[in-house]
Structure 1
Amino acid sequence: MKKSIKIIGSGFSSLAAACYLAQQGHNVTVYEKNATIGGRARQLKKDGFTFDIGPTWYWMPDVFERFFADFNKKPSDYYELIKLSPAYSVYFGEREFITIANNLDEIIATFETIEKGSGAELREFIDEAKSNYDIAIKDLVYRPGESPIELVTPQTMMKMGQFFGNISKDIRKRFKNKKLVQVLEFPVLFLGAKPSDTPSFYSFMNYADFGLGTWHPKGGMYNVILAMETLAKELGVTIKTNSNIEKIGVKDGRATHLVVNGSTVEADVIVTGADYHHSETLLDEEYRGYSEKYWEKRTFAPSSLLFYVGFDKKITNTEHHTLFFDTDFDIHAKDIYDIPKWPEEPLFYASFPSKTDNDAAPEGCEAGIFLIPLAPGLEDTTELRDRYFEKIITRFEKLTQQEVKRHIMVKESFCVNDFVKEYNSYKGNAYGLANTLFQTAFLRPKLKSSKVKNLYFTGQLTVPGPGVPPALISGKLVAGLVAKHSFKDNKTTEIPSL
């Protein structure tokens, strides 16, 4: 039965849900509060420079392929994909860095030169990680988190011990060199928690890194958003920007309408890809599935302080993606997760898309994106932003042996206050809920409201978790639940006479 489905937000999960629901034959409209689509994956253009505001890493290309294949399409129908070579580099001090190649054999050789015997250990570790990847990404993450039974398969039973171990211990059993340990712990940071709090099973992220490689969509990650917009419109989806949702209306326990810019819009089904906590504040309190106390107790992935910087010269001694681990990782992690505060000496990350993509900067110039992970909910002021930019850019100059400060043409920043303002993000988090043991699968906030019929949630605070590939999967999962439950939810129950 064709339904009128309204979707809140236009990030990866919302656009994915829109495509699948339109494919089912429904009348789908997407509402975006900002002037441009993309949610956290929007784009900044200034003075000839182009920056991805949000995600900059393209991992798990098979998930993108699977998404487009569901519509008999390929990513190449919409954008050009470039495999980065090398994938990235990691600085540990002045002239002290490790370059990660674009293939496993070369990475193994690099490890072996740093720690004798580590090459063989790495091959065995990645073989195990691939096994986990095949179980997780090809199967488990495509389950909607409705029941713990979803996790019980012959394959997962064999891996059960890995749900109770942690990545940090596993890596340290195999590798002694601190630099190699940090390189191997890096991928799980995308899951939003400390490696010591991340179950061993999530080593599949190491296979995503070393096994599948790091890619760049020409034009940036925003081109993936534009591809999904094109696909959605081809499927008949209507997308409306500058459309702020003020309320989710409920009648007789069923979601019935949205209040958009002061006007009421009727709906048979509502799907929200906005921040889960914020989405529930759009409901009257009696219809909220999770209390404020619940959200306070969750482990959130970090927020970020981001800088978008245009240089009037080319930057040397860096790759497209470069990590700066020249300060103590454990101390910075404590400042995010244990006793939240601004870190004294933060680790940071830099991306230079114009090294791969000439259109990202004017000729002879470089576009740079700098990111410092932060605890969500911190004080955010112009003075703090300026102080931390000075910290990292001074270290950047020293580590990469070049002068860059006086070559800055463009500088914009984005931090906790912006995540709240632009995305209604809970405490200004950037990546949603961390994937810890007790925030995995059926233990995450549900895709389907427990209190309101025909109301669904998608995105990084629900199943399967943070990151762009999981967002695509989340959109597919919620569309599947709409197909499974919405007819049942609309059936009326005849009350017998007494």
Structure 2
Amino acid sequence: MKKRIIIIGSGFGGLGAASRLLSAGHDVTILEKRDKLGGRAYVYEQDGFKFDGGPTVITAPFMFDDIWNAAGKKREDYFDLVPCDPFYRIFDHTGKSFDYNNDHEFTLSEIEKWNPEDKAGYEKFLGTTKAIFDKGFTELADEPFLNFTDMLKVAPDLIKLQSYKNVYSYVSQFIKNEFLRQAFSFHPLLVGGNPFDTTSIYAMIHYLEREWGVHYALGGTGSIVHAFEKLITEQGGKIHTSTEVEEIIVKNGKAVGVRLEDGEKLDADVVVSNADVAFTYKNLINPSHRKKYTDRKLANTKYSMSLFVIYFGTDKQYRDTGLAHHNIILGPRYKGLLDDIFHKKIVADDFSLYLHMPTLTDPSIAPDGHEGFYV
């Protein structure tokens, strides 16, 4: 049965949901409060530079292919992905670096530079990440855990995979060199998690990267947003930018539409919010309709870490500095620094950096002879 569906927000979640729902035959309208689509993938443009606002690492291109296939289209007709090699260049605080990619022998040769004994441990670690990926991603990634019994059903499998350990502890079973432990455990930081607190299920990211690679969208992440806009428009979806939702209208426990900032009301059979969960409950749903997610509960909930990001362009290029497309520049401390950030809530002077240098792969996003960065 065809339904009228309103989607609040146009991040990748909202865009992906819109296309899938259109492919299923529904009537879909996207409401975005900013002046263009993208959400956290918003693109900032100034003086000939393009800066991707948020996501820069594409590790599962098949998920985009699935969306385009469902629409009867080919993803490669809409945007181009190119592989990054190395996936990351990781520097220690002295400037010594470690590269890794999906060439197994190359990665082993890089490990050998740091600690030859860890090559065997790495191979064991890599072997276990497939089992974690099969359970954590293939089987459970799209399963809703709506109550405690849902988690109990999979608990035995998760215990067997040592999901009770954090990522750093899990990696440390196999890798002995401290810098390499950091190099293979930093991934939760990409999604705002602490490697010393986040479940070892996130070790599956390493398998995901090894199996499908790390990619960059030519033209920047914004080219994917533009591709979604084109696809959704072709599918008959309606898109409204500069349109802020003030409230999700709820009747008898069911969302029945939205009220816009200007007072206009739009009816819907289903409302999908791609805004942050906490923001959605606290700001878009009247407290009388949320007995469980009260303001107090939302205030006391533990959230993943935000980022402080600087976008900058330079009037010359830096091609002789030893930088790669994706760079992780670690400071002298790891656990202590993360304790400062996640638990003590302070920013120390010896912080680590993620430095994105997309112009190394794609000069088109900066003026000739210039470089664009995101740190």
Q: TM-score, normalised by structure 1?
A: 0.70
Residue 150 of structure 1: how far off its partner (Å):
5.1
One-letter amino acid of the counterpart of residue 279, structure 1: T
Q: TM-score, normalised by structure 2?
A: 0.92
Output the CA distance in 2 between the equivalents of 1:161 and 1:135: 9
Residue 101 of structure 1: how far off its partner (Å):
3.5
Counterpart secondary structure, 2:367? coil
Aligned mate of 1:295, from 295, 298, 308? 298
Residue 156 of structure 1: how far off its partner (Å):
6.4
> How big is each residue's C-alpha offset from its partner over 1:187-239, in whole Å with a ceiling of 9 and x where there is no partner?
12234322221222321112123443211011111111222222222221100
Q: In the alignment, what sits opposite 2:13? A: 13
Output the CA distance in 2 between the equivalents of 1:226 and 1:363: 23
The change in CA–CA distance for 1:177 and 1:45 in structure 2 (over 3 A counts) is same
Residue 157 of structure 1: how far off its partner (Å):
2.4
Residue 149 of structure 1: how far off its partner (Å):
5.6
Residue 80 of structure 1: how far off its partner (Å):
0.9
Counterpart secondary structure, 1:265? strand
Whether 1:284 and 2:289 are equivalent positions in the alignment is no
Residue 269 of structure 1: how far off its partner (Å):
1.6
Question: For the Cα contact (< 8 Å) 1:103–1:211, is it kept in 2?
Answer: no
The change in CA–CA distance for 1:346 and 1:156 in structure 2 (over 3 A counts) is same
Worse-matched range after superposition: 296-305 or 313-322:
296-305
Question: For the Cα contact (< 8 Å) 2:15–2:228, is it kept in 1?
Answer: yes
> How big is each residue's C-alpha offset from its partner over 1:17-45, in whole Å with a ceiling of 9 and x where there is no partner?
11122222221111000001111101011
Output the CA distance in 2 between the equivalents of 1:159 and 1:234: 46
Whether 1:84 and 2:84 are equivalent positions in the alignment is yes
Q: In the alignment, what sits opposite 2:55? A: 55
Output the CA distance in 2 between the equivalents of 1:128 and 1:70: 32
Whether 1:365 and 2:370 are equivalent positions in the alignment is yes
The change in CA–CA distance for 1:139 and 1:67 in structure 2 (over 3 A counts) is farther
Q: In the alignment, what sits opposite 2:347? A: 342
Q: In the alignment, what sits opposite 1:157? A: 157
Output the CA distance in 2 between the equivalents of 1:286 and 1:152: 31
Residue 262 of structure 1: how far off its partner (Å):
2.1
Question: For the Cα contact (< 8 Å) 2:187–2:195, is it kept in 1?
Answer: no
Whether 1:262 and 2:256 are equivalent positions in the alignment is no
Output the CA distance in 2 between the equivalents of 1:285 and 1:9: 21
Question: For the Cα contact (< 8 Å) 1:322–1:349, is it kept in 2?
Answer: yes
> How big is each residue's C-alpha offset from its partner over 1:159-193, in whole Å with a ceiling of 9 and x where there is no partner?
53522122211222222211101100111223432
> How big is each residue's C-alpha offset from its partner over 1:435-463, in whole Å with a ceiling of 9 and x where there is no partner?
xxxxxxxxxxxxxxxxxxxxxxxxxxxxx
Residue 100 of structure 1: how far off its partner (Å):
2.1
Q: 1:193-204 alignment to 2 at 5 Å?
A: 193-204=193-204
Residue 139 of structure 1: how far off its partner (Å):
2.1
Q: In the alignment, what sits opposite 2:322? A: 317
Instruction: Point out where structure 1 has 5 or more consecutive residues left out of the alignment.
Output: 371-498
Output the CA distance in 1 between the equivalents of 2:107 and 2:46: 37
Aligned length: 370
Q: In the alignment, what sits opposite 1:420? A: none
Counterpart secondary structure, 1:277? helix
Residue 154 of structure 1: how far off its partner (Å):
8.6
Residue 16 of structure 1: how far off its partner (Å):
1.3
Output the CA distance in 1 between the equivalents of 2:142 and 2:168: 26
One-letter amino acid of the counterpart of residue 272, structure 2: V
Output the CA distance in 1 between the equivalents of 2:104 and 2:295: 45
Counterpart secondary structure, 1:105? helix
One-letter amino acid of the counterpart of residue 264, structure 2: S
Output the CA distance in 1 between the equivalents of 2:154 and 2:345: 40
Whether 1:333 and 2:338 are equivalent positions in the alignment is yes
The change in CA–CA distance for 1:115 and 1:183 in structure 2 (over 3 A counts) is same
Output the CA distance in 2 between the equivalents of 1:152 and 1:107: 38
Counterpart secondary structure, 2:63? helix
> How big is each residue's C-alpha offset from its partner over 1:69-125, in whole Å with a ceiling of 9 and x where there is no partner?
333434312111111112221111344111223423211221123112211211221
Output the CA distance in 2 between the equivalents of 1:69 and 1:24: 12
Counterpart secondary structure, 2:29? strand
Output the CA distance in 1 between the equivalents of 2:34 and 2:271: 19
Question: For the Cα contact (< 8 Å) 2:331–2:350, is it kept in 1?
Answer: no
